[in-house]
Chain A
């Protein structure tokens, strides 16, 4: 209770209230996240329940157009699925992939950065050299190559089933460098502080100093990097799915929906691809704005 009131009295909350753009972005982000997480409860239809969809409802335009049906607010796709519902279910997949991928990047990057910064020497130069090499390739290209080529090592009929793991792995693996660099930098600073020396003097083991003394003190900047990284991961996932090396049509994410809808653009059914696109844009921009604000709010130099 006291922690909550301290948070609302604190300057982070104060700077949040003072920035109307951030407040709106945060509200949009929360709506996107809630809509995605609670899709099975909130969605007006279940687009993947064959009993509920009917081909008679296919390709209906949004409800406000003359031939629209008020049952389907944003219209339906070629199989008669409600677009609003597919967007909510799709965002769920997109968010799940993004969060898992970022989680993987954090775990990899933070531990490697911590080890590199604390141990130093050859281990440090090896880890950082690998990071440098990876940075010379654009992240999306690495993810695309891993996802496109990685799936070839699995039999064809299993590829759809493991698609989500392949894509989480490929995006997660490309994101670790930023965390490693951030954490390494702060670890180098923390390492020379007195509490670390004190811990060493009383004989605390290296691993214990690293993970229970240094780690909590270097996690601050990780939060900021992670927020911005979530937006990047959402885009990366959408791009891979759009290219056909991400989520399969049987378990579509926003990118898959956009990719499938693109074929109907020329026959006039723009809503099939544009609405998932707008959902993706809103999600990415709102997360990005919150991340930008967080970076400024937590950085005392900018105040």
Chain B
């Protein structure tokens, strides 16, 4: 167990180091940060002074160590475009992305499970066939097109929901939430549906196939033979056993929800971290890009580390393989 955990931790650290190196080279070798910060008409003395103040005259490995040290503390310097600390910018944007991802995950989970169960129980119903066909199209549709279509229908044609921004968020400490005002909640509808659709179709198909598999097993037949009601068999026995793999997949999908949040945020101009990254790419705002790169990698490395460890706890086969092959 310990060896497994250590190896996974080592691997995670290695990935983060590589990412940090890319972010660092971005910092140091793209353009000239001194020129960017002082403008073209600074005197050479000013440049030398700033270079020393920023530590850019030291050897690369010292700078890299300093960079990693600062990154661990969450310090990525100043945004070139807004001249404010990157950490503040990210802190401002983080709640928007997390609230969006949270809503999308809930919608995807609830919608996916309900539709999956329905299509599994009414396999040949017309509505089930309709849902399955729609989900096939949903898998093929790129996220941004879904967003544009929803804007066209609900914001431009029907004019019932806002198409951009997040309304008037309420500030609680450093966290700004859109959950407490009507405009905030209304603004949340279209983006979270857009973001949830891909994951929802995936969960629906997964629940459907798992459920159909479970319904064929002997213990379900036995439950029916015992004369239990359909409801008790379907929901008490079948659904319960379906949900284990669904939870794992949903956990893994959390990562892709965060990734696709970049697309959704751009479509709806949602002031989250993904939109911040896209803007920083357009304005070549290196510190913001580097911070986002490190942060998003840390999120994924952490999610995968947790999932790996959970697998190890849940699935005893992994442990046997460990001891038998020593691999």
Contact with A along B126-166 (1 / 0, CB 8 A): 00000000000100111111001101100010000001000
Contact with A along B24-60 (1 / 0, CB 8 A): 0010011100000000000000000000000000000
Query: In the complex, which residues 104-154 of chain A have their Cβ closer than 8 Å to any Cβ of chain B?
Result: 129, 133, 136-138, 140-141, 144-145, 148-149, 151-153
What A residues does B293 contact at CB under 8 A? 145, 149
Interface of A is mostly: helix
- B144: contacting residue among A242, A245, A265, A266, CB under 8 A: A242
Chain A CB within 8 A of B102 CB: no
- Is B152 in contact with A270, judged by CB distance below 8 angstroms? yes
Measured between beta carbons, the chain A residues less than 8 angstroms from B259 are 137-138, 140-141
A152 contacts B284, C-beta separation under 8 Å: yes
In-complex Cβ contact of A140 among B148, B260, B301 (8 A): B260
- CB-defined contacts of B255 to chain A, threshold 8 Å: 136-138
Docked CA distance A266–B145 (Å): 16
- CB-CB under 8 A for A238 and B286, given A258-B148, A262-B148, A270-B156: no
Residues of B within 8 A of A284 (CB): 140-142
A240 to B, closest residue via Cβ: B263
**When the two chains form their complex, are residues A152 and B282 in contact, meaning their CB atoms are under 8 A apart?**
no
Check if A61 is an interface residue, CB within 8 A of chain B. Answer: no
Asked if A243 is an interface residue, CB under 8 A from chain B, the answer is yes
Contact partner, B140, options A133, A153, A266, A285, Cβ 8 Å: A285
Total number of A residues with any Cβ neighbor in B under 8 Å: 37
Task: Please state if A144 and B262 are interface contacts (CB–CB under 8 Å).
Answer: yes
Interface flag for B192 (CB, 8 Å): no
Q: Is the CB of B266 within 8 A of A136?
A: no
Point out which of B143, B259, B289 has the most chain A C-beta atoms below 10 A from its C-beta: B259
Residue in A153, A243, A262 whose CB lies within 8 Å of B262: A243
Would you give the shortest CB distance from A231 to chain B, in whole angstroms?
Answer: 7
Which secondary structure characterizes the binding site on chain B? helix
**Residue of B at shortest CB range from A288?**
B140
Assembly CA distance A151 to B286 (angstroms): 12
Closest to B289 in A: A149
Question: Are A265's CB and B152's CB within 8 A?
Answer: yes
Q: Within 8 Å CB of B31, what residues of A?
A: 152
Q: Assign chain B's interface to a size class.
A: 35 or more
Q: Nearest CB to that of B279 among chain A residues?
A: A244
Q: Are A258 and B145 CB-contacts (below 8 A) given A133-B11, A153-B30, A281-B140?
A: yes
Q: Are B152 and A244 in contact (CB under 8 A)?
A: no
| A271 vs B26: C-alpha distance when bound (angstroms) | 40
**Alpha-carbon gap, A258 to B151, bound state (A):** 13
Q: How far is the CA of A280 from the CA of B141 in the complex (A)?
A: 9
Interface string of B278-293 (1 = CB under 8 A from A): 1001101010010001
User: Within the complex, what minimum Cβ distance (angstroms) separates B76 from chain A?
Assistant: 14
Does B5 make an interface contact (CB < 8 A)? no
Known: A148-B281, A244-B282. A239 touches B141 (CB 8 A): no
Q: Which of A149, A156, A242 has the most chain B CB within a 10 Å cutoff?
A: A149
Residues of chain B having any CB pair with chain A under 8 Å: 11, 15, 22, 26, 29-31, 137, 140-145, 148-149, 151-152, 156, 163, 255-256, 259-260, 262-263, 266-267, 277-278, 281-282, 284, 286, 289, 293, 296-297, 300-301, 304
Q: List 11 A-B contacts (CB under 8 A).
A: A144-B262, A148-B281, A148-B289, A149-B289, A149-B293, A151-B281, A152-B286, A235-B142, A262-B267, A274-B152, A277-B149
Q: What are the nearest 8 A-B pairs in CB distance?
A: A141-B259, A148-B281, A138-B259, A136-B304, A138-B256, A285-B140, A235-B142, A152-B30
A residues engaging B (CB < 8 A)? Answer: 129, 133, 136-138, 140-141, 144-145, 148-149, 151-153, 156, 231, 235, 238-239, 242-245, 258, 262, 265-266, 268, 270, 273-274, 277, 280-281, 284-285, 288
